[in-house]
Amino acid sequence: MKHSILGILLALITGAVSKPPLLKKPPTVQVKNGTYIGTHSNSYNQDFFLGIPYAQPPVKNLRFNTAQSLNTTWSGKKSANSYPTACIGYGTDNGVYKNTSKDFLYLNIVRPSERRRKLPVLVWIHGGGLVEGSAIDQRYNLSFIVHQSEAIGKPIIGISLNYRLGALGFLNSDEVARTVNTNLGFKDQRLALHWVQENIPAFGGDPEQVTIWGESAGAFSVGAHLTAFGGRDDRLFRGAIMDSGNPASPNLWAVFTPSEDGDFIQGSGSELLSMGKFVHVPIMIGTNTDEGTYFASKDPTPKNISSDAEFIPYLQDNQHLPTPFIQEVLRAYADVPSEGIPGVPTLPASYRPGYPYGSQWRRLAAYCGDSVIIANKRWTSQIWSSAGLDVYSYRFNIVPASIPGVFGASHVQEIPFAFYNHNGIGYNEENMSPWNGTEEPFEDKGADYAEAARLMSSFWIQRY
């Protein structure tokens, strides 16, 4: 049993990757239903197969029903050279996607062009609170991490997928429960994993070396697959990576949430882990130091909490905590700025921000980070370790360019490092925010940042 801590505690900077590739020499692949023709990247020496359907379109009578496998075949070749549409959702991410539709259950595959067989497969599940996000988001461009896998001699195939969001994927009511059409977004992901098992050998991938990887709600999704059907092992994956999320994380900020349906979800994540009802595979799991600044600033703005009299109603109304527990929280999270977050070196130990954050901002942020992600991550790691399973743990403590000190190394900020996206592809004015930054993550930073991205992405690749 190994339990290693990957402490990524540097303050770091930029490099450059190739410009968008020129595509030629289209590759072809024959899957169960027919033949696809993709595109070739000379710049990265990779093959792209984009916009491949893994299910029948979720429209008409399938809109609020469990996704169904493809049931048609074809002769000739179908094009797979452009990204699909995104799922209709709401939030800052979906507001900038140019193409959304009701037909979006597609996946994208990036592979090294050199002919090989039985390469490990990394399946990315995007985050976004189960209400926004998409596999078309170029911040999740898989070319960089696949290219890095070649550079370190550990080539992999990368896959990203869309799934139903919001009301389309997580409608939750007694009426819905009676139809058994619950947790449709998770079931979409599950069907995509079945598609991978059936078809990835045609792309040179090994169905017995699939690792599922997600961040935030994507990591929560990974946790859901680890505990799905009471921890039943359908041999869909042999490892899991969870960035800033885990099976026991509460999804407090989502309007449409997963439901305990007695089928896919047979109990709370913490209950299932306690009973050993999870797929026993190695995991890598981690958090960012200042996760809580993101959650303390959501719903929808900072709370401007400056006293216990303001903190207590927040815990009652937003966290729904009983009075005795609130008193324990107040004792455990004292109003001592130096013990709160963010803890970036540029902030004085006694720092208290003003409006709109409030003088107890660091106290509130520390509690939010621990309660939503960090404490549950530690507990999940302990469960895995107690079961004699390999668990690799990390903490990310790098502040990307232009992130204000009041946010520190907050939620989502590790993504460009893990993807080795050190020239900021996909980061633009439309999707930037105070916690995403107002510049590219590596803007005006030095070689240390690029080296951190190289090391971090290498860790993710070598967890196979």
Instruction: For the chain, give every domain's residue range.
Output: 3-302+370-461
Taking the CB of residue 263, how many other CB atoms lie within 10 A of it?
Answer: 15
Residue with tokens 């668990």: 391
Dihedral class, residue 343 (left if φ above 0, else alpha if ψ from -120 to 50, else beta): alpha
User: Quick one: pLDDT at residue 220?
Assistant: 96
User: Quick one: pLDDT at residue 404?
Assistant: 87
Largest CA distance in the chain: 69
Distance CA 242, CA 212 (A): 9
Tokens of 326: 């609130």
**3-302+370-461 in CATH: which number?**
3.40.50.1820
| Per-residue 3-state assignment (H helix, E strand, C coil) for the chain | CCEEEEEECCCCCCCCCCCCCCECCCCEEECCCCEEECEEECCCCEEEEEEEECCCCCCHHHCCCCCCCCCCCCCCEEECECCCCEECCCCCCCCCCCCEECCCCEEEEEEECCCCCCEEEEEEECCCCCCCCCCCCHHHCCHHHHHHHHHCCCCCEEEEECCCCHHHHHCCCHHHHHHCCCCHHHHHHHHHHHHHHHHHHHHCEEEEEEEEEEECHHHHHHHHHHHHHHHCCCCCCCEEEEECCCCCCCCCCCCCCCCCCCCCCCCCHHHHHHCCCCCCCCEEEEEECCHHHHHHCCCCCCCCCCCHHHHHHHHHHCCCCCHHHHHHHHHHCCCCHHHCCCCCCCCCCCCCCCCCCCCCHHHHHHHHHHHHHHHHHHHHHHHHHHCCCCEEEEEECCCCCCCCCCCCCCCCCCHHHHCCCCCCCCCCCCCCECCCECCCCCCCCCHHHHHHHHHHHHHHHCCC
Give the strand pairing for 100-101 and 39-41: unpaired
Q: Tell which residue, 99, 75, 73, 80, has the closest CA to residue 88.
A: 99
User: Quick one: pLDDT at residue 24?
Assistant: 64
Walk along the chain (464 residues) in steps of 10 and give the mean pLDDT of each run: 39 36 76 97 96 97 95 95 91 72 96 91 97 94 97 97 96 87 97 99 98 97 98 98 94 73 95 98 98 83 89 89 94 96 89 94 96 96 98 96 90 96 84 66 87 96 78
b/e burial code for range 18-47 (CB count within 10 A of at least 16 → b): eeebebeebbebebebeebebbbbeebebb
Residue with tokens 């995104």: 86
User: Quick one: pLDDT at residue 89?
Assistant: 85
Q: State the DSSP code for 104.
A: -
Give the strand pairing for 239-243 and 35-37: unpaired
End-to-end CA distance of the chain: 15
Q: Tell which residue, 414, 410, 403, 290, has the closest CA to residue 343.
A: 290
Residues facing residue 46 across a β-bridge: 41, 112
User: Quick one: pLDDT at residue 444?
Assistant: 81
172 burial via Cβ count (<10 Å: 0-12, 13-18, 19+) = middle
Distance CA 389, CA 50 (A): 35
CA distances from 185 to 166, 251, 372 (A): 9, 14, 21
Question: Can the peptide bond before residue 300 be classed as cis, meaning omega within 30 degrees of 0?
Answer: yes
Distance CA 196, CA 235 (A): 11
Tokens of 232: 């039943």
